[in-house]
């Protein structure tokens, strides 16, 4: 049982690290502009979610923010 739990933990950590690795880049903006653009996307997404808060979870919010960042020209 402990081996299985440890294996699942290691797998989860591996997925977390590989899925979240990589830095956002923009073709014309400096890296320092990422924070402002991300905050803007968070605000836009949260305002849109307010209309139907029960329809969205944390994962949905994360995906919408990521989509917004891509629309602003950021990529990994």
- Considering the domain boundaries, does residue 76 fall inside one? yes
Is residue 1 in a domain? no
Structure tokens of 34? 């990422």
Number of independent structural domains in the chain: 1
pTM of the model: 0.67
Q: Is residue 73 part of a domain?
A: yes
In a domain, 32, yes or no: no
pLDDT for residue 60 is more than 80: yes
Listed range (9-18, 36-45, 47-56, 66-75) with the worst mean pLDDT: 9-18
pLDDT at 67 over 90: yes
pLDDT band at 16 (very low <50, low <70, confident <90, very high): very low
Concatenated DSSP letters of 33-71: GHHHHHHHHHHHHHHHHTTSGGG--HHHHHHHHHHHHHH
Q: Domain limits at 61?
A: 37-76
Report the pLDDT value the prediction gives residue 56, as an integer from 0 to 100.
84
If phi over 0 gives left and psi between -120 and 50 gives alpha, with beta otherwise, what is residue 23? beta
Is there a domain that residue 23 lies in? no
Give a yes or no: residue 71 inside a domain. Answer: yes
**Do residues 34 and 74 make contact, with C-beta atoms less than 8 angstroms apart?**
yes
Judge whether 16 lies within some domain. no
Residue 59 lies in a domain: yes
């Amino acid at each position: 049982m402990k081996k299985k739990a440890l294996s699942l933990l290691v797998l989860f950590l591996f997925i977390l690290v590989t899925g979240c690795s990589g830095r956002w880049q923009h073709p014309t903006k400096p890296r320092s502009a990422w924070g402002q653009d991300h905050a803007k996307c968070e605000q836009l997404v949260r305002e849109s979610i307010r209309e139907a808060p029960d329809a969205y979870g944390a994962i949905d919010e994360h995906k919408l923010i990521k989509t917004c960042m891509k629309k602003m020209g950021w990529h990994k």
